[in-house]
Every structure is written in structure tokens, then in C-alpha cells.
Amino acid sequence: MTAFYKIARGIIYPFFRWLHPVKIIGEENIPKGKAYILCSNHTSNTDPFFLAATFGEQIFFMSKIELFRIPVIKQVLTAAGAFAVDRGKGDMGAINHAIELIKQGKILGIFPEGTRYKTGAPRKAKSGVAYIAMNTGADILPMCIYREGRYTPFKKTTIRIGKLIQHDKLVDSNLSDRANMKNIVDRVTGSITELWELRH
């Protein structure tokens, strides 16, 4: 955990938890001391704060490039370990950086839907998470952020953390890479949706 991330989390965490009543279910499923891909649905720009407040270890988030075009926000995000992805353009620079983080033993945070959906069930994951998993052998930890309607402060939020999906359960050596990637996308989408359907 970088010094900036540790200090920022220590300062922001108490205020954030006061502002947002959160119920966390499944903390026992969080792996310790290993790299993996954390996949969550995406409902609000506050989602990375909810995840950072939940997990004790640093999460390196893949974030939309638009945020990095705002100088102050770019500095904060970069210091916190986040990195930009140009969505919808097959940003291999971001994908390769994500792969390198996994190889360094880091936790990679991805919102695999590729954009926010402020209400309703999670949508289908994009193929980026499958490509990263295929090229790193990383396990995937599914989770979901659930609230009734749009995000507002003081609204009840439930965070459900699913069981770690082992890489050898994601990939079948008898299938093509394309087929395995489709299976990973379907598995991630299904796992997050199942957690969301449990609601509060």
C-alpha cells in the first residue's frame, strides 16, 4: 500500500462511513496476500470509495480517461494508483498495464460493464476482464454494490462479496481462447448479477 493511499484512506474512511451507512456481507471471501481481479457492478462515481473503504489492501483501479483530463483529479487518481483507460477503443496500453499490475502481485479493480448504470441490474461484462484473466492466470473476486434507486448520501447500501472464482475453474484447455473468454465474461456477469439479486 502506497503512503498516499494509506494516509488518504485513514483520513477519508471515518467521514465516508458516517456519510454512507453500509452493510458488508461476505468479508470472509476476501483473499489475503495475493493478486486477483476484483470485479464489481458500477452505479456511481463513488463506487471506488466504497470498495477502498471495504478492502484493507490497496486496489489499483482502471478508470475512465475522462477523469484524467481534469488536472487536480488526475493527480489524486495517479497518486492513489488508478490508471486511465480509453473506453470503447481497445486500449491495449491500459490492458497491458493491468496485466503488469497482476504480475506484480497487486489487486486490480475493474468495473467490467465499462460504464455506470445508475439503476437496475448489472449489465453484461466487456471482454477486457476476460483478456486480462487469460493472460495472467488471475482469479476473479465478484462483488456487487446494491441500493434502491440512484445514489444519494445516507442511502442504505449493501456490499456483497462473492466467493473467489479460481482461474482453473474459468478456463478449459479443450476450448479455444475465444470460447474461454466468452465463458469468463458470462461467469463474471452471472456472478455479479446473482449477488445483486440478493438485494439487502
Q: Using 50, 70 and 90 to split pLDDT, how confident is the model at 149?
A: confident
Q: Using 50, 70 and 90 to split pLDDT, how confident is the model at 189?
A: very high
Give the integer Cα–Cα distance in Å for 166 and 161: 15
pLDDT tens digit string along 78-119? 888 899 999 877 789 999 999 999 999 999 999 999 888 877
Q: Which three cell numbers stand for residue 33?
A: 496476500
Over its C-alpha atoms, the chain yields an Rg (Å, rounded) of 16
Phi, psi (degrees; rounded to nearest 5) at 172: -115, 115
DSSP string, 178-191: HHHHHHHHHHHHHH
Specify the pLDDT at position 127: 93
Give the integer Cα–Cα distance in Å for 71 and 19: 26
The burial class, CB within 10 Å (0-12 / 13-18 / 19+), for 109 is buried
The burial class, CB within 10 Å (0-12 / 13-18 / 19+), for 64 is middle
**Which residue stretches of the chain are H helix?**
3-19, 47-54, 71-79, 92-103, 128-136, 177-197
CATH fourth-level superfamily of 3-61+99-197: Glycerol-3-phosphate (1)-acyltransferase (3.40.1130.10)
Specify the pLDDT at position 46: 86
Specify the pLDDT at position 73: 85
Cβ count within 10 A of residue 77? 18
pLDDT tens digit string along 37-52? 999 999 888 898 888 8
* Model confidence, pTM: 0.93
Q: Which three cell numbers stand for residue 140?
A: 476473479
Per DSSP bridges, beta strands 107-110 and 83-85 are unpaired
How far is residue 121 CA from its own chain's centroid?
16
Q: Show me where the domains of the chain are located.
A: 3-61+99-197
